[in-house]
């Protein structure tokens, strides 16, 4: 069976998230998006844990289901902020649990290290190497995946507080890290150039890190799994071995918030080449630029551009449908007009991913105008221009003189 999975989301109890996130809304919009498996997000948070226990029934294979049979697996994100080698480190990690019993043990471990009730993504002063060791001692089926690995402030390869390799971060526990999350500002072609990923020992996954349930957030990045049966063990096998990891769905890296170097407050961004000319100094405020993903990749890459490891999973690079419609119509993504077109397309074709990835030009033209269809097809081919995001600002899509932003 083919499963499209988004295993990195948040509850309404995380900072800067929609207060309308609920199990019901996640299920509703996941079905509309075309997602067939979600992470629960924030499983250790006391209030969200109550909602999980009330609304999701766990089967013997580690899958939790709603009353309407939509599947989730237990997932959270943990922030580690600590000092190593005389430098402050900040690392975000996705944690997947095989069942509620193990999730409870993880929760008790976290409670022994600090508070878990103030934020769905709690912060702990634990070294990442020690964190992996401790969780693996609880149960080896716990999966730990470095999140959005290239973002400057909280990615393990980030320019501000990261490391130059997985080994630098996880030390003797490195062999227990089987995959990394690309994040919106990077795609597999960038990460393939890193030594540990180039070797084929570490896979690349993509998830949305969604802070709301809207379809331009949820599933904007995802994995496509091809497994014989939906259970936790098969999901983890795909992540750890690549067997069953059919492809990833990515947004264009330029669409992410940290692709180029720059300063948001100065309204200035530039390419790595320009940064080199400027010697890393912002021409507006004369302070050091925030170094983005594109620049950082070149700093730590060990393989040339266009390098591709053997047996690497393919990836689709696409923008969310509402972004495409917004660009075609020249209206904001949540305008009434965009929703009317979006809902019409969903009603006809079933889900957003069907429209973005599969429905033929001929079928699309039967219910949508030529300009929209043209952009949907250009989106599949990665031909929509995106001005790179920088220093916390999303990238901007453009077509002629029209622009749409998040």
Summarised one tens digit per residue, pLDDT across range 79-111 is 999 999 889 999 999 999 999 999 999 999 999
Same domain as 222, residue 74: yes
What integer pLDDT is reported at residue 85 of this predicted model?
A: 85
Same domain as 341, residue 233: no
Residue 214, token pair as written in the block: 């809207």
Same domain as 337, residue 238: no
Cα 220 to Cα 316, 317, 377, distances in angstroms: 11, 10, 17
In a 3-state reduction of DSSP, which class is residue 31?
helix
Q: Give the separation between CA 116 and CA 264, rounded to whole angstroms.
A: 32
Q: What is the percent of the chain with per-residue pLDDT over 90, rounded to a whole number?
A: 96
Q: Which has the higher per-residue pLDDT, 297 or 400?
A: 297
Q: What is the mean pLDDT of residues 22-29?
A: 98
Kindly state whether residue 401 falls inside one of the protein's structural domains.
Answer: no
Please report where in the chains the tokens 């290290």 appear, as a residue: 113
Domains in the chain, number: 2
Its domain, for residue 147, covers 2-254
Q: Is the pLDDT of residue 131 over 50?
A: yes
Q: Which of 202, 223, 254 is the last residue of a domain?
A: 254
Q: What is the mean pLDDT of residues 246-269?
A: 96
Q: What is the mean pLDDT of residues 376-389?
A: 95
What integer pLDDT is reported at residue 161 of this predicted model?
A: 83
What integer pLDDT is reported at residue 59 of this predicted model?
A: 97
Sheet holding 385-387, edge to edge: 385-387, 396-399, 402-404
What integer pLDDT is reported at residue 344 of this predicted model?
A: 97
Q: Which of 219, 254, 289 is the last residue of a domain?
A: 254
What integer pLDDT is reported at residue 404 of this predicted model?
A: 38
Count the neighbouring beta carbons within 10 Å of the beta carbon of residue 265: 12
Q: Is the pLDDT of residue 403 over 60?
A: no
Q: Is the pLDDT of residue 402 over 50?
A: no
Candidates 332, 99, 110; CA nearest to 235 is 99
CATH number at residue 78: 3.20.20.140
Q: Which of 239, 254, 269 is the last residue of a domain?
A: 254
Cα 365 to Cα 326, 343, 372, 374, distances in angstroms: 18, 16, 9, 9
H or E element at residue 262: strand 261-263
Please report where in the chains the tokens 């190593």 appear, as a residue: 84
User: Tell me: the pLDDT tens digits for 285-301?
Assistant: 999 999 999 999 999 99
The single-letter DSSP state of residue 260 is B
Average pLDDT along the chain: 95
User: Tell me: the pLDDT tens digits for 151-165?
Assistant: 999 999 999 988 999
What integer pLDDT is reported at residue 405 of this predicted model?
A: 36
Kindly state whether residue 282 falls inside one of the protein's structural domains.
Answer: no
User: Tell me: the pLDDT tens digits for 199-210?
Assistant: 999 999 999 999
Q: Give the separation between CA 43 and CA 61, rounded to whole angstroms.
A: 17
Kindly state whether residue 287 falls inside one of the protein's structural domains.
Answer: no
Q: Is the pLDDT of residue 398 over 90?
A: no
Same domain as 123, residue 204: yes
Kindly state whether residue 27 falls inside one of the protein's structural domains.
Answer: yes
Q: Give the separation between CA 226 and CA 306, rounded to whole angstroms.
A: 26
């Amino acid at each position: 069976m083919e499963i499209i999975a988004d295993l990195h989301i948040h509850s309404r109890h995380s900072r800067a998230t929609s207060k309308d996130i609920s199990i019901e809304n996640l299920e509703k919009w996941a079905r509309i998006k075309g997602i067939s498996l979600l992470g629960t997000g924030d499983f250790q948070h006391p209030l969200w844990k109550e909602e999980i226990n009330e609304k999701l029934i766990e089967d013997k294979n580690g899958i939790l289901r709603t009353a309407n049979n939509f599947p989730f697996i237990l997932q959270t994100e943990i922030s580690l902020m600590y000092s190593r080698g005389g430098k402050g480190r900040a690392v975000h990690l996705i944690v997947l649990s095989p069942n509620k019993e193990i999730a409870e043990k993880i929760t008790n471990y976290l409670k022994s290290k600090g508070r878990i009730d103030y934020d769905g993504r709690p912060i702990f002063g634990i070294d990442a190497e020690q964190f992996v060791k401790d969780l693996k001692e609880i149960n080896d089926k716990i999966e730990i995946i470095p999140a959005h690995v290239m973002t400057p402030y909280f990615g393990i390869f980030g320019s501000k507080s990261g490391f130059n390799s997985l080994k630098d971060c996880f030390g003797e526990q490195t062999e227990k890290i089987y995959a990394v999350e690309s994040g919106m500002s990077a795609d597999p072609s960038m990460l393939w150039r890193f030594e540990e990923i180039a070797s084929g020992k570490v896979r690349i996954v993509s998830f949305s890190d969604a802070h709301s349930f809207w379809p331009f957030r949820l599933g904007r990045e995802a994995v496509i799994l091809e497994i014989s049966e939906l259970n936790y063990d098969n999901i983890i096998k795909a992540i750890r071995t690549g067997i069953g990891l059919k492809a990833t769905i990515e947004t264009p890296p330029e669409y992410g918030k940290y692709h180029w170097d720059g300063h948001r407050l100065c309204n200035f961004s530039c390419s790595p080449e320009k940064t080199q000319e400027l010697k890393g100094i912002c021409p507006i405020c004369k302070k050091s630029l925030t170094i983005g993903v594109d620049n950082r990749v070149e700093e730590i890459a060990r393989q040339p551009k266009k390098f591709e490891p053997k047996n690497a999973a393919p990836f689709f690079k696409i923008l969310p449908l509402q972004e495409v419609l917004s660009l075609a119509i020249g209206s904001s993504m949540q305008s009434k007009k965009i929703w009317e077109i979006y809902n019409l397309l969903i009603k006809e074709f079933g889900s957003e991913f069907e429209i973005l990835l599969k429905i033929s030009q001929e079928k699309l033209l039967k219910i949508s105008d030529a300009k929209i269809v043209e952009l949907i097809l250009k989106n599949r081919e990665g031909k929509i221009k995106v001005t790179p995001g920088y220093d916390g600002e999303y990238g901007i899509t453009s077509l002629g003189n029209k622009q749409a932003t998040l």
